[in-house]
Structure 1
Amino acid sequence: MENMKKKVTLVLAALLSVGMILSLTACGGGSDKETVSYKVGTEPTFPPFDTTDEDQNIVGLDMDLIKAIGKDQGFEVTFENLSFDGLIPALKAGNIDIVAAGMNKDDKERQKQVDFSDAYYESQLYVVVAEDNNDVKSIDDLTPDMKVAAQTGTTGAEKVKTLKKEGKIKEAVIVDGLDTAMMQLINGDVSAVINDKPVNEAYMKKKPDKVKMVGKALNAENYGFAVAKGNDELLEKINKGLANIKEDGTYDKLVDEWFNK
Structure 2
Amino acid sequence: MASFRGAILDVDGTLVRGNDRIPGAREGVRVLRDAGADLLLCSNNPTRPAEYHADRLTAHGIDVAPGQVLTAATVTVEYLASEHPDGVPFVVGEPYLHDLLREYGFDPTDDPDAADVVVASIDREFDYDRLTRAFWALEDGAAFVGTDPDRTIPTSERLVPGSGAVVNAIAGVAGREPDRVLGKPSEETAATALERLGVAAERCLVVGDRLDTDVALGERLGMTTALVLSGVTTRADLDDAAVRPDHVLDSLAEVGRLLD
TM range (shorter): 0.3 to 0.5
Could you tell me the TM-score, scaled by structure 1's length? Answer: 0.35
Could you tell me the TM-score, scaled by structure 2's length? Answer: 0.35
